[in-house]
Structure 1
Amino acid sequence: METAIRRDTAPAYVAELLDITTSDQTVIRARHMYDGERLVQLADSYVPVDVAEAAGVENPDPGLGGIISRMRDAGFEQTEAIEEITQYPATSVEAEAFGVEVGSQLLQITHTGYTKTGRAVEVTVPARAPAGRRGAYLRLQVAKAAEDSNPSPSPAGPPLTRESRCARALRWRS
């Protein structure tokens, strides 16, 4: 896995989920996940700056349990998550990055983590190949933060769009 961390504004739909303005800065953790040499997922997490600063989210190695555990330690424990699952056709850049045909159905699961007060403190927008179902929603009660460790990060990349994430993944692989 490769991770790039930077501050930038979030896309409008992510800003809406986080209940911030489109001009507010967020901390973005952009991850590329591989199965060997094959890219299998792009995942960009957006965290409000106040939460990120309190939890140390900009630290390249957030330690055991990752940023979810650091948020919990800082008083922003996620007690609920909503995941929106959508399917969409791969663009030419995405197709090249994922090694699939243009138009192949990709899966995106937008994960929003909420505290017990209902505040959204993290939105993660991954794109995965191959596709799944469209229009499903999951509401999850979070029992405990993840206890996995996170690999070392990579330098920050360009602004995040589906195409720029895939193009960046292609550059990182070469």
Structure 2
Amino acid sequence: MKINKITLFLLFFAIGTVLMSCRTAEEVTEPEPEPTVTEESTDDDNDWMADEPEEEEEVQIVEELNTINFGFDLYSITDQAARQLADNVTLLRENPATRVRIDAYTDHVGGDQYNLRLSLRRAAAVVDFYRQNGIGEDRIESRGLGKAPVPCSQMEMDTDTPGCEKNRRAESHPINPTS
């Protein structure tokens, strides 16, 4: 029977692997028995239990997040809105158990279907901002709700564009964990 070099190499490799995986007598240690508590033990005997106090992590509550506004017929985030959202990101990073829900609206100019699509794009822009700044998608909900529920009064209307800025908004609502 002829043994070639590859077979010989594989044989030595297998034997080496088996020998390397074997534990020596020094490596085998007996587990330490756990302390037992008897009726005769005193408070001093139970000190081993006090070594690791169970501290419950305090859950922070985020009360409020900034709302941003949009220009007429736009869904891009302005520099001012980005600063406000950056403040929200800081709060969300400091409170990783808190989630966020974005509700986006439009003013009352235009048709219902158009405004619904525009509000969805506004909500998506805020979600993208949060995601790009480290907030996990699993912590974000969003809704485009179309026209704001309360129309602007004549006093609140923009002077340079139709509608009013206060209704062209995306609200970020904190969703805090329950205790």
Query: Which structure is higher in strand share?
Result: 1
TM-score per shorter chain, which class?
Answer: under 0.3
| TM-score normalised according to structure 2 size | 0.24
Query: Which structure is higher in helix share?
Result: 2
State the structure with more CA Rg: 2
| TM-score normalised according to structure 1 size | 0.25
